[in-house]
Chain A
Amino acid sequence: MGADNAIPSGQLVPLRTKDEVRASLETHRVYVVEIPARFANTVKDVIQAAIPGFKTAEISHLRRVVQFKYLPAHLQKQFYPPARLQRGDEDTSPISLSPCSTPLPPSPTGDVEIIEEANTEDEDIVRFFVLCPTRFIQHAELFALLRRNPPFTNIPVPPKLLYVTVPALAPTSAEQATMWSETYWPIAYKNTNPYGPHPSLVLRNTIEIESEVHKWLAVAAEAGSEIAALGLGEKIGCVVVDRTRGTSEVIAVAGDCRWRSPSGATEAHLGRGNVMAHSVQRAIAMVAKKRLRMAGADPALLDRSLFCDIPLTDVEKPYWETENIPASGYLCVDLDIYMTHEPCVMCSMAILHSRFRRCIFGTRMPLTGGMTADTIGTLANPGKGLQHGMFWRPSELNWKFLAWEWQSKEKDAEASVKDILHV
C-alpha cells in the first residue's frame, strides 16, 4: 500500500455538474417541415412573427436547416423518401442563407462554420427545417399558418409536419455534440459550457494533477487504514495538498475518527458515531490550527476534544508538525483535497465553506455522497445517487470548485466501507 511503488492504474474523470446532467437528460419535441432550401428564411420569419414568445436562442444548438443526407440514420429511415417539392413562384426574391441556418455535416470539432454555396440546383433540394418546440403551438394551428404562407401558397403539396425529439439544452462538449448528432439531430457545438467549468479549464487542471492523484489517494488510504487499525474510525482518509508553489506540499493528512470517544478511547461501532470527526472535518481543522500556529496564536484556541483535530497516527503526525502553510492564507483557498471516498453532504459543504480549489475522491458513495450529480452509481448500487453535485452550483451556493473521481482499475476500494456510511 506504499505510495512509492504503487503503479497508477486508473483514470481521473471530471465529475459532471448538476446542470450538465440536466442538460444531458432533458429532451423535448420540435416540429420539422420539409421545404425547398431557398424558403428557409421566409419560413423562419413566418414562425417568428406568429410566435413572438419563441426565442431562437432556445434552439441555437440545433442545426436549423438540414439536408436529408445529414439526418441521423433513424430519421432518414423514418422520413424516407424526401419529398420532391416543386419550385415555388419565380417572383419570390432570392434569399441568402445566414451561416447559422446553413445545413452542415456534424463536424468532429463542431466549431467550424462552413457557409454552403447556394447554387440553383441546391436551392430546390428539400431541406428539413426546425420550426419550433411543440409546446409553442398546436399542430393544426401551425399547419394552417404554413399553408397560408410561401412556399405552400405556391405548391400543390400541403406542408408535412414531422415530430423530432431533440436535446432541450446545448451540449457541454464536442463529444456530446457528435453523439447527439447521431442520436437526435445535427447539433452545433460552440466550444463553451454554460452548465459547468469550461472544458479547457478542466483539461488544464486534469493535466496538472493527473500524475500525482494515485500517490495522494494512497496516502489518504494509508491514513484510513492506520486509524481503523486503532479502532478509532472507518477506513476513510483524506489529504490536503498545496500546489500553488509549483511543487506539491502536503498540508494535512487525516483519517476518519467517528469511533473515538471524548476521552480518546475506542467506542462501540453503533449508529453513526461522532459525525463531527469525519476525516474532512478533521483535515480542515488541522489546516486552521496550522494557520493559527504560524500566526503565533494558540492552535488549541476554542478547541474541543470531540473535534478530534489533533494528529493521531504515524501518517498524520509528520504533516501536522511541518510548518509549511502561510499564516496569511485564508481558510483552504488554493488548496486541493484528496479523499478515499466521496464525501457526505456535510463534508461536501464543509469543503465548500472552506473554499477549496480542487477536490478528488476515489470511491463513489451513491447513498450518502454530496459531490456527484448523476445517478451512475456503483457496481453495488447501480443507478443510484443523491444528485446534489455540490461542487458546482454557482447560482445557489456561494462557492464552486473543480471535482474529479479516480476510476481505479483495481476496484478493491469499494468494499472497504459499507454503502450506507457517511464519509
Chain B
Amino acid sequence: MNPEEKVYHERFMREAIAMAELALKSDETPVGCVFVKGGEVIGRGMNETNRTLNGTRHAEFVALAGILSTMPISTLKETDLYVTVEPCVMCASMLRQYGIRAVYFGCWNERFGGTGGVLNIHSDPSVDKPYPVHGGIFREEAIMLLRKFYVQENEKAPEPKQKKTRELKTEILPMDIHAPKSTPSPSLV
C-alpha cells in the first residue's frame, strides 16, 4: 500500500472507529463500519446485538439495511467496506452473496472471523465471486475500544446481574483479537 492509498483507507477507517465509539457509548460491543462508494460514505453501522436481543445484528447488517433501503443491490459491486473488527463468518458470507468489492478491517477476530481469523469465507470455493480483504488498518485502536468495553462492562456489574446478558455483551473478548498466527500477505489478496 503506497502512502497515498494509506491516507485514503485510514480516512474511512477513522469513520468506522467513530461508529465503534458510538456503539461503546450505547452499551454495545464496539464494532463499527462504513460502506464507501466512489470516495463517499454511503452508509454507517454499529453493533446492535444487546439492545435488539438479536445476536445477528452486527454492524455490517445494520449498515446494509440502511443502504439497501434506498439503493439497488448492484451498488455493492462498486462498494468497499471498512470495519473495525474482521467480519465474522456470517457477515463474510453475506458480503460475498451481495457481491461486495473489497473489505478493509482493523483487527482480526480469532473467535469467529470469516476473512482469515478463523475461516476464509471471502475466498473459499463458492458459487459467488471472491473478494479481496486487507486487515490491520488502525488495529491497535480497534483493540483498545474492545478493551474499554470489557472494562466498562465489568465495572458496571457489581452484583452478578443476569449472567446471560453479560455473556452476550462481551461476545468478543480482547484476548481473542490479534493478528492471526500466519499473517496473510499485506497486499490485497
Complex interface residues of chain B between 53 and 70 (CB less than 8 A to chain A): 53-57, 61-62, 64-66, 68-70
Beta-carbon contact of B69 and A262 below 8 Å: yes
User: Across the interface, which residues of B come within 8 angstroms of A307, CB to CB?
Assistant: 61, 65
User: Across the interface, which residues of B come within 8 angstroms of A332, CB to CB?
Assistant: 55
Count how many chain A residues have C-beta atoms less than 8 Å from C-beta atoms of the other chain.
45
With contacts A272-B98, A390-B89 taken as known, whether A397 is within 8 angstroms of B65 at the C-beta atoms is no
User: Across the interface, which residues of A come within 8 angstroms of B56, CB to CB?
Assistant: 281, 284-285, 350, 353-354
Complex interface residues of chain B between 83 and 141 (CB less than 8 A to chain A): 88-91, 93-94, 97-99, 111-112, 114, 118-119, 121, 124-128
User: Across the interface, which residues of A come within 8 angstroms of B66, CB to CB?
Assistant: 304
Q: Does chain A have a CB within 8 A of B73?
A: yes
Beta-carbon contact of B97 and A292 below 8 Å: no
Beta-carbon contact of A397 and B48 below 8 Å: no
With contacts A276-B65, A386-B124, A397-B112 taken as known, whether A301 is within 8 angstroms of B52 at the C-beta atoms is yes
Beta-carbon contact of B168 and A344 below 8 Å: no
Beta-carbon contact of B94 and A292 below 8 Å: no
Chain A contact residues, majority secondary structure? loop
Q: Does chain A have a CB within 8 A of B181?
A: no
Q: Does chain A have a CB within 8 A of B156?
A: no
Beta-carbon contact of B93 and A349 below 8 Å: yes
With contacts A302-B48, A305-B69, A367-B127 taken as known, whether A349 is within 8 angstroms of B114 at the C-beta atoms is yes
User: Across the interface, which residues of A come within 8 angstroms of B97, CB to CB?
Assistant: 272, 275, 344, 346, 422
Q: Does chain A have a CB within 8 A of B165?
A: yes
Instruction: Looking at the assembled complex, report how far the CB atom of B33 sits from the nearest CB atom of chain A, in whole angstroms.
Output: 15
With contacts A285-B56, A388-B119 taken as known, whether A353 is within 8 angstroms of B90 at the C-beta atoms is yes
Beta-carbon contact of B55 and A306 below 8 Å: no
Partner of B54, one of A273, A284, A355, A422: A284
In the bound assembly, the distance between CA atoms of A347 and B92 in angstroms comes to 11
Instruction: Looking at the assembled complex, report how far the CB atom of B144 sits from the nearest CB atom of chain A, in whole angstroms.
Output: 22
Q: Does chain A have a CB within 8 A of B5?
A: no
Complex interface residues of chain A between 276 and 323 (CB less than 8 A to chain B): 276, 281, 284-285, 288, 291-292, 301-302, 304-307
In the bound assembly, the distance between CA atoms of A390 and B66 in angstroms comes to 29
Sample of 7 further A-B pairs with CB below 8 A, known A302-B62, A396-B119: A274-B68, A276-B94, A330-B164, A350-B56, A353-B90, A397-B112, A397-B118
Q: Can you list 9 pairs linking A and B with CB atoms under 8 Å apart? A: A272-B73, A276-B64, A276-B65, A284-B55, A332-B55, A345-B89, A349-B88, A349-B114, A367-B127
- Report, nearest first, the 4 A-B pairs whose CB atoms are least far apart: A349-B90, A288-B54, A346-B93, A330-B164
